[in-house]
Structure 1
Amino acid sequence: MEWSEILERRRMVRSYLPDPVPDETVRRIVATVRRAPSAGFSQGHRLVVVTEPETRRELARLAGEEEYVAAGGRPWISTAPVHVVVGVREESYHERYRKPDKLRDGEEIGWPAPYWYVDAGSLFLLLQLAAIDEGLASGLYGVVPEQVPELKALVGLPEDVHFVCVVTVGVPAPGRDESGLVSRLTQQRLPLDELVRWERWE
């Protein structure tokens, strides 16, 4: 598959067929976690794969799917056959950067940004691309902060693993979701010159 085709197919899908995804396919997709970027090779990514229908329904409830459907959307979260809960263990980064080869003047570096979240975003994109490579589609959802403890308890995320998002994977339903709730259908792409500057921001 050409890069331009992959890029064209990279979008958030909110409509899936109920067909299960073979275990070996899911394993190939989530195995990208071992190749995902992580600062200093900290390897702080943590995933939980959910395929059990009742747990998927509970995840959909926590994500507010009922409100989404009441507003005119389709129940895409509960129908997606695979949910990959993406978490990250921040302490893995600190542990790595406290090792002798990473210390600066005997101390851990200052972090200009929370790179554990930067890396989690990179992992999400790799999961999306891996799904495309398997002929599947993916989407992403989160939950409001007050629902995070219940979500973590539901899937057994350890206390020291931060919840980031959930990636849905499955066979896309025929046709596109033309609902007015889909942002890419209601928002314009910004021109490149508004997003990219050359040499200096002027």
Structure 2
Amino acid sequence: MEFTDVLKARHMVRTYLPDPVDEEALRRIVKVIHRAPSAGFSQGHRLIVITDPGLRGRIADLYEPVYARNGFPGWVSRTPVFIALCVREESYHERYQRPDKLNEDGTEIDWPVPYWWFDSGGLLMLLQLAAADEGLATGFFGPHVAGLRELLELPDDLGLAGMVTLGYAPENDGVRRELFRQRRIPLDELVAWRR
């Protein structure tokens, strides 16, 4: 698939077919973790791929009541694959305490931005593009529901950026794409040029 086609295919969905996702395709998708940005090559990303129906059901039990209260139909329970997008902040500190990254006075940099979270957004986009290249659709939900960390049995040193949902979308996933195109903010309002 051409890159422009992959970009066009990348969009968030909340409707999935029940079809299972091929494990080899999943392996190709998560392999992008090696290409994801990480400040100073800290490599603090961590992924947990969840295909187990029981665990997926328990995750849906946490989230679907929240969506129902806000008027959304249940969709988490119909997701064939979840990928927990995690980050290990300490990997960044360990890397920036090495001699080639220390300040002149021998101290670690003052982090102007928590790049571990910033870089997780880059990994999210790579996962979405890799999934689109495999003919799969993705979605995302945040870690805002109590009990998710415990359910995933995350160690204390991992932060959870959120959950990528992954599967095959139906031909018409219920999203009116034309409406989104009409509501797009013009490029000149989003991009400033300094020439």
RMSD: 2.1
Instruction: Decide whether the 8 Å contact of 2:143 with 2:160 is kept in 1.
Output: no
Aligned match of 1:154 = 151
Task: Give me the whole-angstrom Cα distance separating, in 2, the residues matched to 1:185 and 1:74.
Answer: 20
Instruction: Decide whether the 8 Å contact of 1:16 with 1:79 is kept in 2.
Output: yes
Secondary structure in 1 matching 2:183: coil
Task: Give me the whole-angstrom Cα distance separating, in 2, the residues matched to 1:110 and 1:161.
Answer: 21
Instruction: Decide whether the 8 Å contact of 1:15 with 1:74 is kept in 2.
Output: no
Deviation at 1:54, TM superposition (A): 2.1
Aligned match of 1:8 = 8
Aligned match of 2:184 = 189
Task: Give me the whole-angstrom Cα distance separating, in 1, the residues matched to 2:46 and 2:30.
Answer: 10
- The residue type paired with residue 81 of structure 1 is P
Mean Cα deviation higher: 21-30 or 85-94: 21-30
The 5-angstrom pairing of residues 123-142 of structure 1 reads 123-142=123-142
Task: Give me the whole-angstrom Cα distance separating, in 2, the residues matched to 1:166 and 1:100.
Answer: 35
Q: 1:90 to 1:71 in 2, by over 3 A?
A: closer
Q: 1:176 to 1:107 in 2, by over 3 A?
A: same
Q: 1:134 to 1:113 in 2, by over 3 A?
A: same
The 5-angstrom pairing of residues 67-146 of structure 1 reads 67-69=66-68, 72-105=71-104, 106-144=106-144
Paired residue total: 193
Task: Give me the whole-angstrom Cα distance separating, in 2, the residues matched to 1:45 and 1:28.
Answer: 16
- The residue type paired with residue 174 of structure 2 is D
Instruction: Decide whether the 8 Å contact of 1:62 with 1:143 is kept in 2.
Output: no
- Percent identity between the aligned chains? 52
Task: Give me the whole-angstrom Cα distance separating, in 2, the residues matched to 1:114 and 1:29.
Answer: 25
Deviation at 1:186, TM superposition (A): 10
Task: Give me the whole-angstrom Cα distance separating, in 2, the residues matched to 1:176 and 1:28.
Answer: 24
Aligned match of 1:28 = 28
Deviation at 1:72, TM superposition (A): 4.9
Task: Give me the whole-angstrom Cα distance separating, in 1, the residues matched to 2:93 and 2:13.
Answer: 35
Instruction: Decide whether the 8 Å contact of 1:36 with 1:126 is kept in 2.
Output: yes
Task: Give me the whole-angstrom Cα distance separating, in 2, the residues matched to 1:12 and 1:190.
Answer: 18
Deviation at 1:178, TM superposition (A): 3.8
Task: Give me the whole-angstrom Cα distance separating, in 1, the residues matched to 2:111 and 2:182.
Answer: 34
Deviations 1:114-153 (A, max 9, x none): 1001110000000001101111111111132x61xx2111
1:52 matched to 2:52? The reply is yes
Task: Give me the whole-angstrom Cα distance separating, in 1, the residues matched to 2:67 and 2:21.
Answer: 25
Identify the match of residue 177 of structure 1 among 170, 174, 177.
174
Instruction: Decide whether the 8 Å contact of 2:143 with 2:161 is kept in 1.
Output: no
Deviations 1:59-80 (A, max 9, x none): 12323x2343465533221111
